[in-house]
Structure 1
Amino acid sequence: MPTTLTLTDFQQAAARLRTGVAEIKAVTEVESNGRGFDSVGRIIIRFEPHKFHEYTKGKYDGTHPSLSFPQRRKNYPVDLNQSWDLYNIAKTLDLTATRLATSFGMFQIMGSNFPSCGCKTVGEFVTKMCKSEAVQLDLFCRLLLDWRLDDELRNHQWATFAKFYNGAGFRQLHYDTKLQNAYAKHL
């Protein structure tokens, strides 16, 4: 089973991002309940059917309506098991689109963001994400620095951070409020 992060790991990442440990832990709590892997060692994922639809141009909407559709559905997939079920079916149809349409690890970074994490391919990104939470933390730091979101995290600009990290619909899911509350809890 992959190792979990230590306080030293968080402190080193905080120094790299010039922020605090509480800020980073807030993101992990909101994105994955602070876990990169489940109890049996599977990486935490969230398969996004609306993104799969986007990357396959709706090719599978008719034949696989539970894993490809145009609009995000709130609370779907319902849990990690359903995400893995959908992921495993989708990858038999189009592996690259499946990986691009899935968020991975404790920071729930979308596969489509692999270049911003310093990876040459989405396959390299997925392989790295599956190694350890420490690697997931490194890729998160790379992403924030590439996107120049480290200052929003550092300055507790939760709405701006959530908008760029989670997308324009962040308010519907209250990401900014969740981040602020999680940060207060980890102080």
Structure 2
Amino acid sequence: MPNTLTEQDYRQAAQSLNTEVAVIKAVTEVESNGRGFLPDGRIVIRFEPHLFHRYTQGQFDATHPDISFPHLRKGYPTSTSHSWQLYDRAKVLNLKAARMATSFGLFQVLGSNWPDTGSKSLAEFITRMSKSENEQLNLFCHLITAWGLDDELRNHKWAFFAKVYNGPGFKLMKYDDKLADAYKKHSN
């Protein structure tokens, strides 16, 4: 199984984004509960059926209503294991759409955001995500810089960060509140 992040990894990331280690740890905790890989070595993912619906124009809504539907559902998928089950079925139907509709690793970077991670292709992005938590951290830092969100992290603008990073449904999932709470915890 790939190595977990070290304190030095967190310090380097915080330095590259000109922010605090507690900020990076807060995002790590909220996005993946601090795990980039499962005990069996598979990467932590979250398959998003509403995004699979978008990338396939609803083509599979009627035939596969558990993996393709138009709106975000809080609490669905129910777990990483459930996400893997859905993802494995979705990629048989449309590999590219399944990858684009899945968030990967410690920072749950959505496959469709691969161009902003410094990767040359979606396949390279997934390969790099699968290497190590440190590589996941590097891809995250590249994304944050590309999106200009480093100042939101630095200034603890959790709601703005969550809106851009997690999408317009961030309030439904209370990402901003979770980030603020995790930051307080890691600041002590």
Relative to the length of structure 2, the TM-score reads 0.98
- 1:20-77 Cα deviation digits (max 9, x unpaired): 1100000010010011001111100000000000000111111111100111111000
Rounded to whole Å, the distance in 2 between the matches of 1:81 and 1:163 is: 26
Q: What's the secondary structure of 2:75's corresponding residue?
A: coil
Aligned to 1:40: 40
Contact 2:74/2:172 (CA < 8 Å) preserved in 1? no
Aligned to 2:81: 81
Aligned to 1:49: 49
Aligned to 2:148: 148
Rounded to whole Å, the distance in 2 between the matches of 1:124 and 1:93 is: 21
Q: Shift of the alpha carbon at 1:152?
A: 0.2
Contact 2:53/2:70 (CA < 8 Å) preserved in 1? yes
- 1:124-178 Cα deviation digits (max 9, x unpaired): 1111100000000000000000000000001101111111011112111111110
Aligned to 1:66: 66
Percent identity of the aligned residues? Answer: 61
Q: What's the secondary structure of 2:173's corresponding residue?
A: coil
Q: What's the secondary structure of 1:172's corresponding residue?
A: helix
Rounded to whole Å, the distance in 1 between the matches of 2:33 and 2:44 is: 10
Rounded to whole Å, the distance in 2 between the matches of 1:142 and 1:162 is: 17
The aligned runs of 1:87-126 (5 Å cut-off) are 87-126=87-126
- 1:96-144 Cα deviation digits (max 9, x unpaired): 0000000000000000000000112111111110000000000000000
Rounded to whole Å, the distance in 2 between the matches of 1:26 and 1:89 is: 32
Alignment RMSD, CA only?
0.6
Structure 2 stretches lacking a partner, 5+ long:
none
Structure 1 stretches lacking a partner, 5+ long:
none
Q: What's the secondary structure of 1:46's corresponding residue?
A: strand
Aligned to 1:182: 182
Q: What's the secondary structure of 1:160's corresponding residue?
A: helix
Rounded to whole Å, the distance in 1 between the matches of 2:176 and 2:61 is: 32
Structure 1 residue ranges, 4+ long, deviating more than 3 angstroms after superposition: none
Aligned to 1:164: 164
